[in-house]
Amino acid sequence: MLSACSRTLPTPFVTFPADLVQKCDPLTQFDGKTADDLVGYVITLTGSYRDCEERHAALAEAVQ
C-alpha cells in the first residue's frame, strides 16, 4: 500500500443566479367556457412552460 502525501481539493462554492433556481409557476386550472377562453389559456400555459424550460436549460448549462 502506498502512503504518499495526498490532499483533498476543496470543492468550490458556486452560487447560481436566483432566477435560475426558482421553481416553475404552478399550473392554473382552466375555468373558461368558450373555445376562445381555451385558446387564451393554452397560449398563457405555453408561455409559462417556455419560461420554465428556458430557466432549466440555463441552469443545466451553468452546472456543466
Domain count for the chain, please give it. Answer: 1
Binned at pLDDT 50, 70 and 90, residue 47 comes out as very high
Is 38 among the domain residues? yes
Q: What share of the chain is helix, strand, coil (3-state, %, to 5)?
A: 50, 0, 50
| Spatial distance between the Cα atoms of 22 and 35, rounded to a whole number of angstroms | 32
User: What pLDDT, on a 0 to 100 scale, did the predictor assign at position 41?
Assistant: 97
Is 52 among the domain residues? yes
User: Which residue range forms the structural domain that includes residue 50?
Assistant: 34-64
Is 41 among the domain residues? yes
Is 54 among the domain residues? yes
- What contacts 24+ positions apart, CB below 8 Å, involve 37-43? none
Give the predicted TM-score (pTM) of the model: 0.62
Is 25 among the domain residues? no
